[in-house]
Amino acid sequence: MFRGRAEKKVMEAGYEPARLPPGQYLTEKWPVLHAGAIPATDLATWDFRVTGEVESELTLSWDDFNALPRTSHTQDIHCVTRWSRFDVTFEGVHWSALEELVQPLPSARFVVAHAEQGYTANVPISFLRDPLSLLATHADGEPLTPEHGWPLRLVIPGKYFWKSAKWLRGIELTASDRPGFWERYGYHNDADPFEEERYAF
């Protein structure tokens, strides 16, 4: 069976070649990618909001957020610019802890993640409920660095990494799907790396 150079490298590193989505290459380093500048964050004024199709909207301070139950898990990340990194361990709060507090309405079917400076990303609510999703404060055992989204980033499994908003400030539940920042620029709404859903056209 033909294997390209990227797959060969994955095998040489001791992984199943099928673990690498088509058109991607494996990187050991963790590249930094975002639009705009790294925001300056003051934890004293930072807050996190859950809004939209919920029984009760919620605003949490940094201390409130860190009092929520925590979990961690390991997964692969895939950027649409073609790098993939395997086995990144994220630690933070799972959406289920927030869902209990806000109680989504039956109309809540989609999510808009809101980050600093107006960055947004949209997913169906099922991706937030996925056991591998996370509102992450740590990666690989350390607090997130500013360039990787400190103090809080979203981690959405099974999608290109642009859905995983860095510098996350809120989750909005919506009844209908609303394209986020990259989706409005022509990136694919569904963004499944194994289907190579890179661009909408």
Ligand X SMILES: Nc1nc2c(c(=O)[nH]1)N[C@H]1C(S)=C(S)[C@@H](COP(=O)(O)O)O[C@H]1N2
Interacting residue with Mo ion among 62, 95, 127, 162 (CB under 5 A)? 162
Interacting residue with ligand X among 6, 68, 79, 88 (CB under 6 A)? 79
User: Do 105 and 53 form a contact (C-beta atoms < 8 A)?
Assistant: yes
CB atoms within 10 A of CB 158: 18
Sign of the dihedral through C-alpha 5, 6, 11, 12: positive
Stretch that binds Mo ion, among 1-9, 15-23, 154-162, 188-196 (CB under 5 A): 154-162
Question: In the window 47-86, what residues touch Mo ion (CB under 5 A)?
Answer: 79-80
Asked if residue 95 binds ligand X (CB under 6 A), the reply is no
Residue 81 C-beta: closest distance to Mo ion, Å: 5
Asked if residue 9 binds ligand X (CB under 6 A), the reply is no
User: Do 91 and 72 form a contact (C-beta atoms < 8 A)?
Assistant: yes
Question: In the window 107-126, what residues touch ligand X (CB under 6 A)?
Answer: 115, 119
Asked if residue 159 binds ligand X (CB under 6 A), the reply is no
Interacting residue with ligand X among 3, 4, 8, 31 (CB under 6 A)? 31
Render the burial of 74-108: b for 16+ CB within 10 Å, e for the rest: ebbbbbbeebbbbebebbbbbbeebbeebebeeeb
Identify how many contiguous H helices and E strands the chain contains and give both numbers: 5, 11
Asked if residue 48 binds ligand X (CB under 6 A), the reply is no
Instruction: Indicate the SS3 state at residue 40.
Output: coil
Asked if residue 164 binds ligand X (CB under 6 A), the reply is yes
Residue 81 C-beta: closest distance to ligand X, Å: 7
User: Do 48 and 63 form a contact (C-beta atoms < 8 A)?
Assistant: no
Unique residue bearing structure tokens 């994955």: 10
**CA gap 196, 77 in Å, rounded:** 14
Residue 43 C-beta: closest distance to ligand X, Å: 17
Residue 53 C-beta: closest distance to ligand X, Å: 23
**Which chain residues interact with ligand X by CB under 6 A?**
30-35, 79, 115, 119, 148-149, 161-162, 164-167
